[in-house]
A = this chain, B = another copy of it.
């Protein structure tokens, strides 16, 4: 039978989407799901096998020759995930299902600028690939989150307030040149939202991830997809005015922004003004964990300010989960108690009936898991898989 050339490229990617859930399926299963002819399925399976993304397994059988089933093999390719913070750098190697195979976290000052920091990323990435004992050719993409707004198409940071010297830097080009694979650059909180959604709440349609650290930002999942906004600027919760909030001056030039009164940075400034020896958000967390009443009272009040803004977000977006992440979330229940207090008082009953407000479940890995997910989605997109089967087609 002569198969038209076009039938292979358009069909393999579609078939892989079905298999991506990890369930092994026979040719008959795939015929039933797609409605395609058995010969078409056979041709597409035969094109996918040489890529390594799909493997044949012997199905369990009660007798006779066991029929083959086909399953997605997420270990066939690797992703490098990077979470770049203001004062840390995390790098991990993941498979295409988001399993972390190797991971490292180092102190890193983002103000060192693009060249030394991206050199570090490349060095750590290569070391991790060595560590997992896989050839460089298995790497299919890099995902990196940065602490500032990113222009979606170019992947360049846009006037990032806490990333001096990074404005407009071609992160995609620099890392792509060094590592020889596609690079996806995103805002760090957006990747955390995707990571937490993928790892902990895959069936939730509407989720809000709020990072409370030196600054405050949010990642929005609506209709199961990340909302980046027109310019990639969505989720900028830090500069929303707090209803009934204190008119504190914010570094953005306005007064009364959430970040100016409820962030880790704001608490550090308040405690310093009161004579406490604190330098970072982590120091504030340590004070609260140590039972310091003044720090605890300030944190609880920060929670109420967060709640006043989040109540508006709940009315607007009606999520079923609000996940609180970032270093301040490690201060325990005091922050959440303040948030819950105001959200449940201020939001409409219908919107809070099924709402849960929780801390992040991914233990600081949300950004890495999100980066792994966006790269996997990119390289496993139907058109990308179709192109791959062309590359791997037997001559």
Contacts and interface: CB of A to CB of B under 8 A. Distances in A.
Nearest to A350: B233
B35 A229 contact: no
Chain A interface size, as a band, is 35 or more
Most buried by B among A206, A232, A236: A236
Interface in A250-304: 252, 254, 256
A205 interface: yes
A227 B237 contact: no
B227 A225 contact: no
A198 interface: no
A311 interface: yes
Contact of A256 (B225, B243, B254): B243
Contacts of A133: none
Nearest to A229: B318
Most buried by B among A206, A313, A315, A354: A315
Given A206-B229, A319-B229, A236 B37 contact: no
Interface in A209-225: 218, 220, 222-223, 225
A350 B159 contact: yes
Interface in A190-248: 205-206, 218, 220, 222-223, 225, 227-237, 239-245
Given A6-B36, A228-B318, 20 more contacts: A7-B36, A7-B37, A159-B349, A206-B229, A206-B230, A220-B316, A223-B223, A227-B317, A230-B355, A231-B350, A231-B354, A233-B315, A233-B318, A233-B348, A234-B316, A236-B318, A236-B351, A239-B315, A241-B244, A316-B317
Interface of A: 4, 6-7, 9-10, 34-37, 149, 158-159, 205-206, 218, 220, 222-223, 225, 227-237, 239-245, 252, 254, 256, 308-309, 311-313, 315-320, 345-351, 353-355
8 contacts: A10-B36, A206-B230, A220-B222, A222-B234, A229-B351, A231-B350, A237-B316, A316-B317
